A and B are shown apart, each in its own frame.
Chain A
Amino acid sequence: MRHDGSRIETVAAWTLALLWLLPLAYCFWSAFHPAEYATRFDLTAPLTLENFARAWRQAPFARYYLNTVLLVTMVLAGQLVIATLAAYAFARFRFVGRDIVFGLVLVQLMIMPDVLIVENYRVVSGLNLLDTIPAIALPYMASAFGIFLLRQTFKSVPNELVEAARVEGASSFGVLWRVFVPLGKTTYIAFGLVSVSYHWNNFLWPLIVTNSVESRPLTVGLAVFGAPETGVDWSVITAATIMTMAPLLLAFLLFQRQFVQSFMRAGIR
């Protein structure tokens, strides 16, 4: 039995949801219709893929895709390894200065590499890495967030399991690899999804450290492609915009539940 109040709420929720999808719907409309319909809404307008073809021809999007995939893979792989090791140390070892060091790690939660662009640029250019994909990845490689999450997970691993592995003669690394890593699976997935979507979308830092097509990720490629000075051809730009977000959007639509749960898990502290 539903009463009126809840029906009104349902309507309100749906209205908000449709409003929320409106900008995206607009984007899809103009990308899939000829340019003359970009600003005119007519249900009889013919569908076309020409805008995508033109965007693809006008800028090296294939290369941008490759760069972004490389970037995201590199960041994630680095983050997982480095955070696993560090989290293991924090969760399972008692050593001198642990709390201070942990505090130093947490500094990065507040003052992220995103705001240290000026000095990080100096560092990266000092390492002679400008205009490379590692230059984009390195500042994010040690993720305080990842260390924090995994530490929480590792702390909840029951002692009996650790002891059992020890009795079987496993080394420190063996314990980590055979006990902790498998038990952290959900955390890894959660962190992985959050990290991938963050770095797929990251823009300002890659904009600063990349100069050429060979290292530009998709977001920078899109910004350069759509520079308003070029007199903005909306249909083509919206097509390029959709190309940029398509893989992530598609993955999200397919694995919606995992995404939402991962973000939820990553958010609970």
Chain B
Amino acid sequence: MVAAAMISARPKTAKRLRWAANANAWLLLLPALVLLATFTHYPILATLYHSFFSLGRSGPATFVGIENYQAMLEDDVFWQVLRNNLVFALATVPASIALALLMAVWVDRKITGRSFLRLAFFTPTVLPMIAVANIWLFFYTPDYGLLDQILRFFGFSGHNWLGDPGTVMTCLIVMVVWKEAGFFMIFYLAALQTIPPELKEAASVEGAGRWYFFRRVTLPLLMPTTLFISINALINSFKLVDQLVIMTKGGPNNASSLLLYYIYEVAFNFWDTTYAATLTVTLIAILAVIAITKFVYLDRRIHYQ
């Protein structure tokens, strides 16, 4: 520890130095802490606080206890968006991770056109979701969109992809997987490069097949990366809502709506800010559970070393 080294260098003035170091450190931290307190910690507490109050559109807001929470539990749309979000997470996370792994394994090898492949897989990641949504909206348009044109070519009839509650979620999931897989590929690529080549040589000397090597050596070595990506992807699936604004507005009949989008609607279209706060508390709770899981199982080592 350098700090310790600095301090112990001159034992006589140690106390004064320690005080100075303390003050110094806090001064250095001040801007960050003020901003974090204003835009992260205070809002979290304020959300919780406001969720216990009435809206007070006409007259002052009054304490209503858990009334907002009761309303939330009775709100069919809330349950629907929660369910949707779960489906969305459970579909996008494994799918994008599996694809990312596949891509990374391909691109890591001496494959023909390697840099082109890497480019193709990674490009969607740098694009704005809003732009992507525009493109895919066009893609999914009934009858004359690209998807229907391709299907028609093979003799299938057109389908109202985004207008059918049975297909809209799948359509959005496919799009998000397309957008995200390349991003996760990068993490795998980084991890693959840390696997010592000697391991592979040893394996091939012993006559192990590629699949065997992948299953027995590569995959276990990539486990921490997989966990890390899973957590990130899971968190992401609760904040990816830009596409809804462009493509479906959460419809038809809330079939594609997600929790954060519902919060946005309730807060900024209906101006029911206390109910929006109640919904936000739910979202924060979900994220906190994920965070705690991560802390407990994943990176205690990193944070407290």
Contact = CB atoms under 8 A, between A and B. Distances in A.
* Chains A and B touch (C-beta atoms under 8 A apart): yes
Contacts of A265: 190
Contacts of A259: 122, 126
A13 B34 CA distance: 48
Given A21-B123, A23-B136, A201-B128, A110 B288 contact: yes
Contacts of B116: 17
B208 interface: no
Contacts of B290: 110
Contacts of B131: 219, 222, 241-242, 244-245
Contacts of A159: 2, 5
B116 to A, nearest CB: 7
B189 to A, nearest CB: 6
B228 interface: yes
Contacts of B40: 107-108, 111, 113, 116, 139
Interface string B118-147: 111111111111111011111100001110
**Chain B interface mostly:** helix
A16 B120 CA distance: 9
A242 B131 CA distance: 8
A204 B127 contact: no
A101 B303 CA distance: 12
Interface string A92-109: 111110110111111111
Interface residues of B, number: 101
B139 A26 contact: yes
Contacts of A86: 28-29, 31-33
Interface string B1-22: 1111111000000000000011
B44 A93 contact: no
B260 A115 contact: yes
A24 B135 contact: yes
Given A93-B24, A99-B304, A120-B43, A26 B246 contact: no
Given A86-B32, A203-B130, A123 B287 contact: no
A39 interface: yes
A106 B130 contact: no
Given A10-B112, A142-B31, A223-B246, A162 B2 contact: yes
A208 interface: yes
A27 interface: yes
A128 to B, nearest CB: 14
Interface string A111-134: 111111111111100000000000
A241 B135 contact: yes
B255 interface: no
B120 to A, nearest CB: 4
B85 interface: no
Contacts of A119: 42-44, 46-47, 50, 277, 280
B52 interface: no
Contact of B267 (A117, A123, A226): A117
Contacts, number: 283
Interface stretch (B54-62, B74-82, B199-207, B235-243): B235-243
Given A101-B33, A116-B44, A267 B190 contact: yes
A85 interface: yes
A41 B299 CA distance: 52
Contacts of A17: 116-117, 120-121
Nearest to A94: B3
Contact of B187 (A88, A208, A267): A267
A177 interface: no
Given A21-B123, A26-B139, A121-B268, 14 more contacts: A14-B117, A16-B121, A27-B135, A82-B32, A82-B35, A88-B28, A94-B4, A102-B303, A105-B32, A111-B44, A113-B40, A114-B239, A163-B5, A260-B122
Interface of A: 5, 9-10, 13-14, 16-18, 20-24, 26-27, 30, 39, 41, 81-83, 85-86, 88-90, 92-96, 98-99, 101-123, 138-139, 141-142, 144, 147, 159, 162-163, 166, 172, 197, 200-201, 203-204, 207-208, 218-219, 222-223, 226, 228, 234, 237-238, 241-242, 244-245, 248-249, 252-253, 256, 259-260, 263-265, 267-269
22 contacts: A5-B210, A10-B112, A13-B117, A14-B112, A23-B146, A27-B138, A39-B149, A86-B29, A114-B239, A115-B263, A116-B43, A118-B273, A118-B277, A122-B273, A200-B128, A201-B128, A222-B131, A228-B246, A238-B134, A238-B135, A241-B134, A260-B189
